[in-house]
Amino acid sequence: MARQGDALENPATGERLVFRRKTAESGGAVLAFDYFLPAGGSVPLAHVHPRQE
């Protein structure tokens, strides 16, 4: 499981996500992260993760 400060990177798109606060640390109330895109990148279409923690 990811920890605060851990990063996930997608080399195909250049996206990078850095966890700041996870649901396990807030009793399921909050998931906070920074999301980075390369110059000229775009945010993916709206979507959901119904089976994520």
Q: pLDDT digits over 11-45, tens only?
A: 988 999 998 876 766 777 777 889 999 998 888 78
Give the pLDDT score at 3.
77
Q: Residue 52 pLDDT > 70, yes or no?
A: no
28 within 8 A of 15, measured Cβ to Cβ:
no
Q: What are phi and psi of 34, to 5 degrees?
A: -100, 140
pLDDT at 1: 65
Task: Record the pTM.
Answer: 0.64
pLDDT at 6 over 70: yes
